Structures are given as structure tokens and as C-alpha cells.
Amino acid sequence: MRLLLGGLLALLFSGLALAAPVNTGHLVAELVPATQGVAPGQTVHIALRQQIQKDWHTYWRNAGDSGEATSAAWTLPAGWTVSDFTWPTPERLPFGPLVNYGYKGEVLLPVSVTAPANARPGETARLTAKVQFLVCADICVPENATLTLDLPVTEQPAPADAQWGGRIARTLAEAPKPAGLTAAFRKEGDVVKLAIVGPALKGADVAGAYFFPFSGSVIDHAKPQAVERGPEGLTLTLTPGFAFQTGAPDQIGGVLALEGRAYEVAAAAGPLPAAAGGLGSPAAKPDAPDLGLVAAAFGALLGGLILNLMPCVFPVLAMKAASLAGHGGEQAAARSQGLAFGAGVLTTFLALAGLLIALRAGGSAVGWGFQLQDPPVVAALALLMLAVALNLSGVFEIGTSLQGVGSDFASRGGLAGSFFTGVLAVVVAAPCTAPFMGPALGWALTQPPAAALVVFLALGVGFALPFVALAFAPALVRAMPRPGPWMDVFKKVLAFPMYGAVAWLVWVLTVQVGPDAVPRILGAGIVLALALWIAGAAQRRSAIGGRAAALATGAAGLAAVAIVGGAFWPAYAVASGEPSGSAKLEDQGYTPEKLAALQAEGRPVLVNYTAAWCVSCQVNDRVALSTQAVSEALKRNNAVYLKADWTKRDPGIAAELARFGRAGVPLYLVYGAKGDEPVILPSLLTEGMVVKAIDAAGRS
């Protein structure tokens, strides 16, 4: 009897030991039931529970750039079956240049267990799983456990387990599942467009949408996913992975995760549904301004007026002022000059707007000032500014010889020069974003082309208005000094701001490309200067009746060599590395993951969306950001300064700007210690404004 009792006790304690949670080293694992038993022929749920050690994680079914999914090998009684895991929505787990997908803390992985119809009530079925985990922090450790669960067979369906039934039911309810969504994808250049539409997405907030693919090779997991909102869904811009190098796949499956919801998606290769994005409007945050056409156009008009005060426009507008002064009170000539200048401004604004809208419709994540994100454009503009400066210095003449060739030709040349001045003013003004411009342009780029062009037209009208109005103000025109020898001196003085603009553009180029750009662009500048000096010599020889064809031909050839060699051939290689830092503030390169990590630590964060070609950004940096007072405010509040540098094209930053209703830089955000929505600072900063915002964030 004692032997029998001892054997029963040993068996009982042995069973308890086998059913107990197992500590594998960096997690505790166990099998837990949703119900207290299972009836013959019934399907119930059990779950693999993982309680993962702090700062460690396990992996989703697609681990991402590295890692390995949790797996289980089951041993079941005869006739019993078990399904694959139901995987909850994972989280992104960045590690250096990699991004993985997985879980932290506690996670339940449910499976369906089906008892055979001939299962005997009163018996207990032992379910055994040999589970393999890869548990990672800074290092990865393979761990395993043999887990068991004894599940009684009951006459009738058993009630829910008091401890685990509700939790497993919630996990299953929240797990991604199909929701009648229609999806398609198409490779467009260097990106893959994934468009998804359906009733579940109509009117949904898609700002934080993210696509987790089931396959590890279809996308580059570390690259950002730009989101475009449509009337019935969204379009994601993805970076293709290895699978597209050997031929595009026929289908892409995965999970679309939104705020608090997730859906399984199966996308077929083919045309994209228009309702997923239309023009491709950036997804905006719920608090992004919904201005309406009238308010957006009025804001753009005010922004265009203020844009005249931006330092990047000073050199060109000074040229225009000199041009008006040269008419010495001649009202008709001044009006013609003003209208020609306005026509150049409006034509260029609309051309840039049309190109910007077309690029965004094609999937490019670009914004206002996009043309200065390409090194060849920056180099070509630097050479153009140099040519203008040399013309102002008297090295050569544009439109006429030194002695003049008749009033009619001079008039035509003057109007063409005013038109060109308007074009140049817009080109150099593009890097600036004045107050009222940011929200207006951000709204415009979420609208159909017609509405967007109206807003850009209002911006151009505001920009051109002061000089056109000046040309039509008789009293002001008459107050201008009469032409005379002072004009030649004034013109030469104006050359020096243009030389300064050249130096600024060369600096932008070195930020984009690196120091190797300096000898190339300076060498091209020297060749161009020689070409223009020869052109001036040809003009002087022609003015005294000499032959100048050979000189003119040589000048044209050298100019072509300078422009092609300095800007377009061979292509500039964009420099790699972290964004350039500030000399006075300790800054870190911005990424969404870094921001999230700092917020999780409860630290205030100042985020500066900037670019080397944005003059407003650089002025703000020197006047209001890179100061001792701001540095001390960051230190006393344990705050972190993040720089989101848009000097080089970055779809991730473009998407973040769009989330806040912006189409260009600058944008300044201050996040509080509690991780609430950020405070958006004005486009023109003061030191006191920044310090006050950081102190308030530290208290929040």
C-alpha cells in the first residue's frame, strides 16, 4: 500500500514539475489554456506564454533583418491536432543599422487544439511542445524548453479558464486578421508602391501606418515607410529587398498596423487602386491644419510677402532695385520692368509647383526647396550665381555691347533681364520658408493639382507684389535718383552679395557631397570665369569693329566645359555618414526610433528639421538655437537635441514633415517629458522662445 501511495505521489509531483513554467535563462515560458477542458471533437485554444526579461526580446514570424522566430515541435496523443501560432502584431526593434520585428515583456502565442471525436471524457490529454527561442538584447542567446499541458476531456464544452481564458481571447481578438481589404503593389523606379483600400480604412487615421511583411526578403526593413492618404485607403512607399533583385514577386503578404488596429493584407502585383492615394497626399496627423483653399491661399500670399525679407533673396532683389533705380523716374519703363519681373516670378513658381506635384504623384518624397537636394543642381546654380556676379563686376555684358546697339534692342534686353531676375529670385528663394508658408504649402500638397496650383500662385503673387507695386507707384519711382556714374559703382558693389551666394552654395555642396566637391566646383568656377573674361574681350573687340568670332567660340566652349564638368559629369557621389552636428549644442541624428526611445525614458526632446540649403534654418540655428542659454536649458531639463537633416533627400523626413502639415523646412518640435503631442514652434525663432519651450517641456 505504501509503495502504491508513494508511486502515486511521485507521479503527481512529476506531472506538476512537467507542467510548471520553465525558466530558460532570459524568459519564463509555459503553456496556458483558454478553457478548463475540451469536449470530444471540439477545438479550443491554448497559448505559449513568454515572460521576457527586461531589455530582452524574442521574434515575430518574420524576424526582420536578423533573428529567428519562435518555433515549437508538438507531441500529441493519437488523433489530436494543433495549428500554427496566431502571431500578435509585433513592434519594430531597431539595432544599429538593422530593424527587427518581435516582442518585449509578456506575449501570448495562441494555437488551436482539436480533440478527436473518439476522445474519452474523463481522460486527460498531455500536450507537449519542444520550443526554441532566440532571445536577444545586445547579444542573442538560443534557448529552449520542453513544456507540457494536461487538458481534461469533458462530456460538454468546458467553461473558460479563470486565469487565462480572457487574456487569450483578447489576444485573439486583437491579432491581425483579414478585413476585406484590397491591395496591390507595383515597383516604380527605386521604390515599391503598396496601395491598400477597403471600408476599414475609410476615414481612418493612417499617419502611423506600418507594413510588416511576412517574408524577410521583399523590403528593406531599415528604410522608412512613407504614407500617403487616399479617400478609401492609403499607399505606402517601400524600399525593395532582395526578392526584387531576382524578379518581382507575384504577391506580397503581411500585416498593416495602424493606431491600435492591425489587418492581414495580401497584395497582388498590378495597377494601384486610385482610391488608395490619388495624387499621393501625405498622411497628416489628426491635429494638422485643415485650412481650406481660401485660408491656405491667404497664408501663402502673406508668406510670399514676408519671403522678400529672407536673407537668401537679398542679393537678387538688390539687383532688381538697381534696375528700377536706373530708370530715374521713367514711369512707363518702370512699369514694364515691374511686370516683366512679376511674370518671371509667377512663371517660375508655377513651373516649380507643377514639377513638385508631378514628382510627388510619382512617389518621390520631396518638398519645397527640393531642387537644392540634388548636388548637380546646387553646383549649376553656384556657377550661374558666379556668372551673374562677374557680369555685375563688369567682366562681360549681357544683352548689349559696351557701347550699346540702339534703344529698341536695349528695351527688349532690359525686359528679358527683368524676367530673368524674377526667375532667379524664385530659385534662390526656394530654400527659405517664411512664416505662414509652411502650413499653406503643407495643405496644398495634400490637395488635387488645381487647388495646389492656386496656393502656389498666391505665394508667387505675394512674392512679386512689392516690386510690382513699387513700379506702379509714380511718387516712389520719381523719388529714385537719376541715372549717372553712380549706377556703375552701385552695380559693382552688388556683385559682392552674389559672390557671397556662390560661397554659400559651395558650402551646401560640401555638406551634401563632402570635401571632394571643393576642388571640382572651384576648378569649374575658374574655367567659367576665364570663359566669361574671353567673352568680355570678344564684346570689346566687336565694339571697335574687330573680328570676335574666334574669341566668342572659345568662350562658349570653355563655358560648356565648366558647366558640364562642374555640375553634371561625372555624377557627384553623395557623402555618407551622420548629419553634420552643431558646434555649440550636443546634437544627435534624428530617427523615429531614437525619438521613441528618449520619450520612453521620460526625457524632453527638441527636434530640429533643417537643411544646409535652408537659409532660414541656418539663421535660426545661429541666432536662436546654438546659444549658451539654449545649451543650459537642455542640460537643466535633461533634454536631448535631435537634428533631422534634409540636406540630402530623405523620404523618412519628408513623411515626418507631412505628418505635421509641412512641405518644407524649417520645423521645430518640442516634446514634453511625458511624451505628449509636441509643441510646434514658429518658423522664425528667438532664443527666449526656445528656452521657454524647453523649460515648459521639462515640467510637463
Residue 445, pLDDT above cutoff 70: no
Residue 329, pLDDT above cutoff 80: no
Q: pLDDT tens-digit profile of 488-498?
A: 787 788 788 78
More confident call, 291 vs 100: 100
Report the alpha-carbon distance of residue 452 to residue 444 in Å, rounded. 4
Q: What residue ranges do the domains of the chain occupy?
A: 14-174, 182-278, 293-568, 587-699
Rg value, the chain, Cα: 33
Query: Which range, 83-97, 465-479, 580-594, 648-662, has the best average confidence (pLDDT)?
Result: 83-97
Chosen CATH of 587-699 out of 1.10.3720.10, 3.40.30.10, 3.40.50.10420, 3.40.605.10: 3.40.30.10
Sign (positive or negative) of CA dihedral 504, 508, 514, 517: negative
Report the alpha-carbon distance of residue 168 to residue 220 in Å, rounded. 33
More confident call, 615 vs 236: 236
Return the pLDDT at 250: 85
More confident call, 67 vs 561: 561
The domains spanning 14-174 and 182-278 adopt the same CATH topology: yes
Return the pLDDT at 533: 94
Residues 6+ apart with CB under 8 A from 179: 198, 199, 200, 263, 264
Report the alpha-carbon distance of residue 509 to residue 372 in Å, rounded. 9
Confidence grade of residue 30 (pLDDT, cut at 50, 70, 90): very high
Tell me the CATH number for domain 182-278: 2.60.40
Q: pLDDT tens-digit profile of 259-303?
A: 778 999 999 988 888 666 643 333 333 334 455 788 888 888 888
Percent pLDDT > 70 in the chain is 80
Residue 409, pLDDT above cutoff 50: no
Q: Is 47 helix (H, G, I), strand (E, B) or coil?
A: strand
DSSP string over 303-372: HHHHHTTSGGGHHHHHHHHHHHHTTTT-HHHHHHHHHHHHHHHHHHHHHHHHHHHHHHHTT----TTGGG
* DSSP E strands, 365-412: none
What is the average per-residue pLDDT within 480-504? 75
Average pLDDT along the chain: 81
- Domain 14-174 matching CATH 2.60.40.1250: the answer reads yes
Residue 440, pLDDT above cutoff 50: yes
Return the pLDDT at 669: 95
Return the pLDDT at 286: 36
More confident call, 69 vs 375: 69
Return the pLDDT at 291: 58
Query: Which range, 332-336, 381-385, 409-413, has the best average confidence (pLDDT)?
Result: 381-385
| 313 in Cβ contact with 266 (< 8 Å) | no
Return the pLDDT at 506: 87
Residue 575, pLDDT above cutoff 60: no
Return the pLDDT at 155: 94
Confidence grade of residue 401 (pLDDT, cut at 50, 70, 90): very low
In three-state form (DSSP H/G/I as H, E/B as E, the rest C), the secondary structure along 176-194 is CECCCCEEEEEEECCEEEE
Q: How far apart are the first and last CA of the chain?
A: 71
Q: Which amino acid is at 609?
A: Y
Confidence grade of residue 487 (pLDDT, cut at 50, 70, 90): low
Q: What is the pTM of this model?
A: 0.44
What is the average per-residue pLDDT within 496-513? 81
